[in-house]
Amino acid sequence: MQRIAVVTGASSGIGEATARALAAAGWRCVLVARREDRLRALADEISGEVELCDVGDRAAVEALAERVLERHPAIHLLVSNAGMPARGTFLKADLDLVERVMRVNYLGGVWCARAFMPGLEAAARAGGAHIVNLVSVAGTVSFAPAGAYAASKHAQLAFSRSLAAALRGSGIAVHAVLPGFVETEGFPQKNVLKSRLLHRFVIEPDDVARAILRAIEKGKQEIVVPWFPYRLVGIAQAIAPGIVARFVGMSDYKGDAV
Q: Cα separation of 83 and 186, whole Å? A: 9
User: Which of these, 61, 56, 35, 7, lies nearest to 177 by C-alpha position?
Assistant: 7
In angstroms, the Cα distances linking 105 to 86, 157, 180, 187 are 10, 10, 16, 14
Query: Three-class SS of residue 4?
Result: strand
- Largest CA-CA distance found in the chain, in angstroms, rounded: 53
* Beta carbons within 8 Å of 154's beta carbon, 6+ residues apart: 138, 139, 140, 142
Q: Which position among 106, 149, 230, 253 bears the catalytic label?
A: 149
Q: Cα separation of 8 and 109, whole Å? A: 9
Work out whether strand 172-179 and strand 77-80 pair parallel, antiparallel, or are unpaired: unpaired
Q: Cα separation of 236 and 214, whole Å? A: 26
φ/ψ of 9, rounded to 5, equals 65, 40
Residue 149 annotated among the catalytic residues of the structure = yes
Catalytic residues: 149
